[in-house]
Structure 1
Amino acid sequence: MRLRRHTREEEEDGDTGIDLAPMLDFVLNLLIFFIITAVFVKETGITLSRPAPSNQEQQKKPDEKGTLFVAVHGDGTISIDKRIIDPGAVRANVERFHAEKPEGPVVVVANVKSPTGVVVKVMDQVRLGGVYNVSIAPSSSGE
């Protein structure tokens, strides 16, 4: 058996460092994974943009007798025919209105400062009351 002598040149050319190629492959794969999964993530929710208050006069006409107006005030209170009602009573009022006028629409008059959650709950109660012809009208007054 012959002993092999290592020279300085062989030691410098040998595997004395860390091979970075596998680490770079791993990082590239992670980057590709996160890019692909980020594209498919969809946010749930709705985008709500309320119309300008100037459109209220066009939608809320005083001569419309077959329309039920449900007002949502800035502090979150709800009123029908200028009577403050409980959020749970919206459905009963809408059902009574729907029994009298089956084709009558319901207009939810929402104040600009009213909480969006309350407006959505009122619209859900109107739909549960059997009326599917629901419109939203803005109101900037303290109605």
Structure 2
Amino acid sequence: MKRKKHTASDDDAQIDMTPMLDIVFIMLIFFIVTTTFSSERGLMANRPKDNPNNNEPSKALSIRIDANGQIQMGGRIVDIRRVVANSQTYLAENATETAAIQAHEDTDHGIVVQVMDQVKIAGIQNVSVLVKKD
């Protein structure tokens, strides 16, 4: 009887990767099929549409807030505590239901909210914040 000599190729064990790849692909398909995608919920803003044909002057109360937090009403600087009185004076002279607040982008949001609250206390319920259109 003749004995076989072991060669170098017999010493290297080969692992068959096909079953492992099949399992990986089956798991991948399973996770893709069973994944549910949820839609994110947020606040929807009701913004008015641009109307370039409107040539009537606006009677809305105009308030500007600069980057330092200074409030301007009617071209003069006003303290936050005097916004109610100035708004009521404007309402006595002009029949309006709206106010527009134009704040600088670096203005503290707390000041803008305080001005909005003061204007609502004065009796104006429709308050809008103007944003820069890009």
TM-score by length of 2: 0.54
Shift of 1:96: 1.1
% identical equivalent positions: 28
Matched, 1:84 2:77: yes
Q: Which residue of 1 aligns with 2:123?
A: 130
Q: 1:71 to 1:63 in 2, by over 3 A?
A: farther
CA distance in 1, matches of 2:84, 2:103: 17
Instruction: Say how many residue pairs are matched.
Output: 86
Q: Which has the larger radius of gyration?
A: 2
The SS at the match of 2:123 is: coil
Worse-matched range after superposition: 121-130 or 93-102:
93-102
**What letter is aligned with 2:109?**
T
The root-mean-square deviation of aligned C-alpha atoms, in Å, is: 2.9
Shift of 1:64: 2.5
Q: How big is each residue's C-alpha offset from its partner over 1:66-116, in whole Å with a ceiling of 9 and x where there is no partner?
A: 121111111111001221111111110111112233334110111111100
4+ residue stretches of structure 1 with deviation over 4 A?
none
The SS at the match of 1:113 is: coil
- Paired residue for 1:95, among 88, 99, 107? 88
Greater per-residue helix proportion? 1
Ranges in structure 1 where 5+ consecutive residues have no aligned partner = 1-46, 52-56
- Paired residue for 1:75, among 68, 72, 81? 68
Q: Which residue of 2 aligns with 1:27?
A: none
